[in-house]
Structure 1
Amino acid sequence: MDRRMAIVGSFLGLTAIILGAFGAHALKVRLSVEQLSSFETGVKYQMYHALFLLVLSFNSHCTEKLKKTLFYLIVSGVLLFSGSIYLLSTRVISGFELKFLGPITPIGGLLLIVAWIFLFMHFIKKKI
């Protein structure tokens, strides 16, 4: 699980950098300030959780079960939260009507929050 988390975390970090550069350069002239700000929020949260996965992959204080749970919560959360933000904020370029994705964003955010709650509760219960 540690290797998988490190690989996925580094991939999420890599793609966050690429998407951030894409947003700062290519999308800057095509999106409104509000749309670009939303896109950047998706990039930030993706990077935060890429780092979360990397740190978690090297953490010896967490059980494999907890790491697995956190891994699936984080990956699902990033895909739903950041992914829906990317699609919604660029819909003027794609031309696709994606309003149905609106409720997906908070579900992704909730998964990310739950991951942090699980980690917090683990450290509250465990005496390190």
Structure 2
Amino acid sequence: MRSLNPTAAGALLAAIGVALGAFGAHALRERLGPGALANFETGVRYQMYAALALIALGLQSGQRRAPGLLLAGAVIFSGTLYVLSLTGLRWLGAVTPVGGALLIAGFVVAALDARRR
């Protein structure tokens, strides 16, 4: 199995985040209510945080565990917020914290691995 390239994953996640941010700002502003738009924007913001962290982790040796956690967290956290915003499927709000927990775990593991080096 091929291992995750954090720099490439982060760059791709950032590119998608910029595209989704522009989509939200231009195409969704008139279509979504303020709450749904705020949820969408939160998804974009946290996706970008994870993307930048992945790029930074890709520049460090010894960061093997955190990138996968951050990528999974960003996909689940931001993805559920995007779908929730666009569809109104409220049950996705129960899944979103799983992504948030994975993001937190990824940052904690990154800090622990950096400390060990």
Q: Normalising by structure 1, what TM-score? A: 0.82
Counterpart of 2:98, as a letter, is I
Map 1:10-29 onto structure 2 (within 5 A).
10-29=11-30
Q: Which has the larger radius of gyration?
A: 1
Tell me what 1:122 maps to: 113
Tell me what 1:87 maps to: 83
Deviations, residues 12-51 of structure 1 (Å, cap 9, x unaligned) = 0000000000000000000011111110000000011100
Counterpart of 2:87, as a letter, is R
Of 64, 68, 88, which aligns to 2:64?
68
Give the number of aligned pairs. 116
Q: Which 4+ runs in 1 deviate beyond 4 A?
A: none
Q: Normalising by structure 2, what TM-score? A: 0.90
In the alignment, structure 1 segments of 5+ residues that lack a partner are 93-97
Alpha-carbon spacing, 1:106–1:27, altered in 2? closer, same or farther (3 Å): same
State how far apart, in whole Å, the 1-side matches of 2:69 and 2:22 are. 26
Alpha-carbon spacing, 1:106–1:17, altered in 2? closer, same or farther (3 Å): same
Counterpart of 1:113, as a letter, is I
Aligned-partner SS, 1:59: coil
TM-superposed CA distance for 1:68, in Å, is: 2.6
Aligned-partner SS, 1:26: helix
Counterpart of 1:107, as a letter, is V
Counterpart of 2:101, as a letter, is L
RMSD across aligned C-alpha pairs, in angstroms?
A: 1.8
Counterpart of 1:68, as a letter, is R
Contact kept in structure 2, 1:2 and 1:58, CA below 8 Å: no
Counterpart of 2:108, as a letter, is I
Of 87, 92, 100, which aligns to 1:109?
100
State how far apart, in whole Å, the 1-side matches of 2:81 and 2:112 are. 29
Identify the range of structure 1 (112-121 vs 19-28) with the bigger mean alpha-carbon deviation: 112-121
TM-superposed CA distance for 1:120, in Å, is: 2.2
